[in-house]
């Protein structure tokens, strides 16, 4: 099944959030103050966020004046093109060129972080890569146990420490084991309690420092897993994690639920990092590399009922 077909089947709420944009883009509507107000309201409702919305509308108004647009469909056509281009950042492909390639995965509890790690491992194993999963969240026994299940399912190796052990020490052991065993990819899970606790951010910095010291370089990837249903709360989470450990990309989960598509744009606008994967279901293969073109096509395409 193609990426676009899978999106059409699962991302109903994301499409619903763009229904207003599809309406605004129909031919003949005058490009007046009412149009711009409706566009702003629609973007905010679709989880673009107020700052991103204001920036988008301001830019469109400037071009509309320069090019003497008369109708709303011209503005929406340009908006669609700009959003696709905006989401197409360099570095969207997962970087697993190093040996081993260490992937540090961060995010709050409930975002789907551990499950996402398991699905990443499945993808890597399908590419015949040797994978080590490292249970760096030593504060929740359930997290380590869940990761152990994924290691067993995917045929990955597994490293964990005692409950309550120093997470940085466990990360060090995992990276060292990956190197000693000739593994291709080491995926490190981290604690995901409330991101507003400064000690947790300091802990994350320590884990990253230990990995850098062992490898002689930063992790190949530092990926933030975000629950797409949390909307603008995801942006505040992303900002804090990015400050603690510079992110190379984001993975947005639960887009098949109540998430709205605009949150992806807001994340890229805030952090200037690519969306690397999106979660479009509960199945083991429902973690998909993000492709901006098909995603935008799906959001703007008219359905038979519209």
3-state secondary structure 13-71: HHHHHCHHHHHHCCCCCECCHHHHHHHHHHHHHCCCCHHHHHHHHHHHHHHHHHHCCCE
62 and 164 both lie in a single domain: no
Average pLDDT, the chain: 86
**pLDDT attached to residue 304:** 40
Answer whether residue 166 is part of any domain.
yes
**Does 62 fall in a domain?**
yes
Give the C-alpha distances (Å, rounded to integers) separating 179 from 89, 137, 170, 175.
31, 21, 14, 6
For 304, how many CA atoms within 13 A lie in the half-sphere containing its CB? 1
**118 lies in the same domain as 147:** yes
- Regarding whether 251 and 274 lie in a shared domain, the answer is yes
Is-contact 243 218, C-beta < 8 A? no
What pLDDT, in 10s, does the model give residues 66-103? 999 999 999 999 999 999 988 998 888 999 999 999 99
- Clarify whether residues 205 and 280 are in a common domain: yes
Whether 59 and 121 map to the same domain: the answer is: no
Task: Indicate if 123 and 188 belong to the same structural domain.
Answer: yes
Domain boundary among 59, 90, 121: 90
Q: Specify the pLDDT at position 306.
A: 43
Instruction: Answer whether residue 296 is part of any domain.
Output: no
Tens-place pLDDT, residues 162-178: 888 899 999 999 999 99
117, 66: one domain: no
- pLDDT tens digits for range 6-46: 666 666 666 776 777 888 888 788 999 999 999 999 898 88
Tokens at residue 217, please?
């370089």
Indicate which CATH number applies to the domain containing 266. Answer: 3.40.50.300
Q: What tokens were used for 295?
A: 């995603």
- H-helix or E-strand containing 264? helix 262-271
Task: Identify the domain boundary among 90, 125, 157.
Answer: 90
CB-hemisphere CA count at 13 Å for 114?
A: 22
95 within domain boundaries? no
The pair of three-digit structure tokens given for residue 81, joined into one six-digit string: 């093109």
Beta bridge partners of 223: 105, 249
Q: Does one domain contain both 21 and 108?
A: no
Do residues 140 and 241 both lie within one domain? yes
195-248 tens-digit pLDDT: 456 777 888 899 999 999 999 999 999 999 988 888 777 788 788 888 888 999
233 found inside a domain: yes
Which structural domain range is residue 239 located in? 101-290
Round to whole Å and give the CA distance between 248 and 101: 13
CATH assignment of the domain containing 24: 1.20.120.140
Name the pairing type of β-strands 157-160 and 101-106: unpaired
Q: Has residue 180 been placed in a domain? A: yes
pTM reported for the whole predicted model:
0.89
Residues 37 and 73 in one domain: yes
In a shared domain, residues 110 and 215: yes
218 shares a domain with 194: yes
Number of domains in the chain: 2
């Amino acid at each position: 099944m193609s990426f676009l077909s899978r999106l059409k089947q699962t991302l109903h709420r994301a499409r619903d959030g763009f229904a207003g944009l599809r309406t605004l883009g129909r031919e003949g509507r005058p490009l007046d103050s009412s149009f711009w107000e409706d566009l702003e309201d629609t973007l905010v409702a679709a989880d673009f966020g107020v700052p991103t919305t204001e920036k988008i509308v301001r830019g469109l108004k400037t071009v509309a004046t320069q090019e003497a647009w008369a109708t709303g469909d011209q503005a929406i056509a340009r908006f669609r093109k700009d959003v696709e281009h905006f989401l197409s950042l360099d570095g969207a492909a997962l970087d697993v060129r190093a040996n081993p390639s260490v992937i540090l995965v961060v995010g709050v509890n409930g975002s789907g972080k551990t499950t996402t790690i398991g699905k990443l491992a499945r993808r890597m194993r399908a590419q015949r890569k040797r994978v080590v999963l490292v249970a760096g969240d030593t504060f929740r026994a359930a997290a380590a146990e869940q990761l152990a299940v994924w290691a067993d399912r995917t045929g990955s190796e597994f490293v964990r420490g005692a409950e309550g052990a120093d997470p940085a020490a466990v990360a060090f052991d995992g990276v060292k084991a990956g190197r000693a065993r000739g593994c291709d990819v080491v995926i490190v899970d981290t604690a995901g309690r409330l991101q507003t606790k400064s000690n947790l951010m300091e802990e994350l910095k320590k884990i990253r420092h230990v990995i850098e010291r062992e490898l002689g370089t930063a992790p190949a990837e530092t990926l933030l897993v975000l629950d797409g249903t949390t909307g603008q709360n995801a942006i505040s989470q992303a900002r804090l994690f990015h400050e603690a450990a510079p992110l190379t990309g984001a993975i947005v989960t639960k887009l098949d639920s109540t998430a709205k598509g605009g949150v992806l744009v807001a994340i890229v606008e805030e952090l200037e990092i690519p969306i690397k994967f999106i979660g479009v279901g509960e199945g083991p293969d429902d973690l998909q590399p993000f492709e901006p073109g098909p995603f935008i096509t799906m959001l703007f395409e008219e359905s038979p009922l519209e």
